[in-house]
Amino acid sequence: MEKDWVKEINKLKKERKAVVLAHYYTLPEVQDIADCLGDSLALAQYAEKTDADMIVFAGVHFMAETAKILNPDKKVLIPDFHSRCSLADTCPAEDFAEFKREHPDHKVISYINCSAAIKVMSDVICTSGNAEKIVGSFGKDEPLIFAPDENLGSYLNRKLGREMLLWNGGCHVHFQLDEEDLMDARKKYPDAVFIAHPECRESLLRHASFIGSTTALIKYVKNSNEKNFIIATEEGILHEMKKEVKDKELFILKKKNLPNYGCAYMKLNNLEKIYACLKDGVNEIVMDKETMDKARKPILKMLSLS
């Protein structure tokens, strides 16, 4: 007989003094057992404050790594080491180091979706929830590099009138969506308001009534008087959104003829693997002290500015 994973996980969480953190893109049943469910910013803020002995991070690798950097003396575990992030992977450390060397007078703002090695080379980190504030903390004429998400960087350049140099990385989930997909969706849902995550392309973002992080998108839908929404981000967000707005129609923007649209990396987190982390301490994030110490500075700077 299959175990009652929820019951077992809750029991082990108490025994181990552990917490489970989950991103909105994870499976619904994973979101439901989380002590903290949130966007990248909320999860980093929670990780900074928690007094738990053990953190199981149901997200992707850079998120668990960030939690470890903030908690060097705690056990931080990831349910599946294959939970990478395609966006973080578009920015290899050696290539970025070379890019940085070519622009020695530039400060570096890195989106949290990057490896610890990139964080070490950054002056400050940002998430989609605080990016405008973080960029705004630099003087208008200060030369800046923004990495690794080109779509988010160019959105910030347009919105804030900046000319940051951009690394040309992107997330496969958001990058693939384009105008034609929206036109298609609009034929089906002509009255729906279109909202989007800033990791989407400019050609799509220019049609959006609202652009924001996953938390901001959920809040927007909740507080809006409108009833129907087309949403351009990963489909896992619908679980929490539907809880918040029971009386509204929500449609995730999909690529035509592409049934498996979501972030496969996020979906690798499941209850059985979370249970294994809690029970046997498997998949621990291990990092060297020097990297953690150097990467912590730009993360703490972000948290203090948020």
Which positions touch ligand SF4 (CB under 6 A)?
Answer: 25, 60, 85-87, 113, 171, 173, 234, 263, 265-266
How many residues does the structure list for the chain?
306
Q: Which among ligand SF4, ligand 13P, none contacts residue 128 (Cβ within 5 to 8 A by kind)?
A: ligand 13P
DSSP result, 135-148 = HHTS-TTS-EEEES
Beta strands in 175-303 (DSSP E): 193-196, 210-211, 228-232, 249-252
CB 76 within 8 A of CB 160: no
Round the CA-based radius of gyration of the chain to a whole number and report it. 19
DSSP 53: S
* Nearest distance in Å: CB 270, ligand SF4: 16
Residue 302 to residue 91: CA distance in whole angstroms:
20
> Using CB under 6 A, which of 129, 148, 236, 298 touches ligand 13P?
129
CB 21 within 8 A of CB 57: yes
* Nearest distance in Å: CB 23, ligand SF4: 7
Q: Is residue 66 at the binding interface for ligand 13P, with CB under 6 A as the rule?
A: no
**CB of 25 or CB of 229, closer to ligand SF4:** 25
Q: Which residues pair with 149 in a beta bridge?
A: 169
Q: Is residue 39 at the binding interface for ligand 13P, with CB under 6 A as the rule?
A: yes
* Nearest distance in Å: CB 22, ligand 13P: 11
- Judged on CB neighbours under 10 Å (0-12, 13-18, 19+), 257 is exposed
Q: Is residue 90 at the binding interface for ligand 13P, with CB under 6 A as the rule?
A: no
**CB of 52 or CB of 177, closer to ligand SF4:** 177
Closest CA to 199 of 214, 220, 184, 209: 214
Q: Which among ligand SF4, ligand 13P, none contacts residue 45 (Cβ within 5 to 8 A by kind)?
A: none
Interface with ligand 13P: number of residues (CB under 6 A): 11
Q: Is residue 26 at the binding interface for ligand 13P, with CB under 6 A as the rule?
A: no
Q: Which among ligand SF4, ligand 13P, none contacts residue 58 (Cβ within 5 to 8 A by kind)?
A: none
Q: Is residue 213 at the binding interface for ligand 13P, with CB under 6 A as the rule?
A: yes
* Nearest distance in Å: CB 125, ligand 13P: 12
- Please, what is the Cα angle at 75 between 70 and 81, to 5 degrees? 95
Closest CA to 195 of 238, 160, 162, 244: 238
Q: Is residue 236 at the binding interface for ligand 13P, with CB under 6 A as the rule?
A: no
- The H-or-E segment that residue 245 falls in is none
Q: Which among ligand 13P, ligand SF4, none contacts residue 265 (Cβ within 5 to 8 A by kind)?
A: ligand SF4
**CB of 34 or CB of 85, closer to ligand 13P:** 85
Segment interacting with ligand 13P, rule: CB under 6 A, options 2-10, 124-132, 219-227, 270-278: 124-132
Q: How many helices (H) and strands (E) does the chain have?
A: 15, 12
DSSP 88: G
Residues at the interface with ligand 13P (CB under 6 A): 39-40, 85, 113, 127-129, 171, 199, 213-214
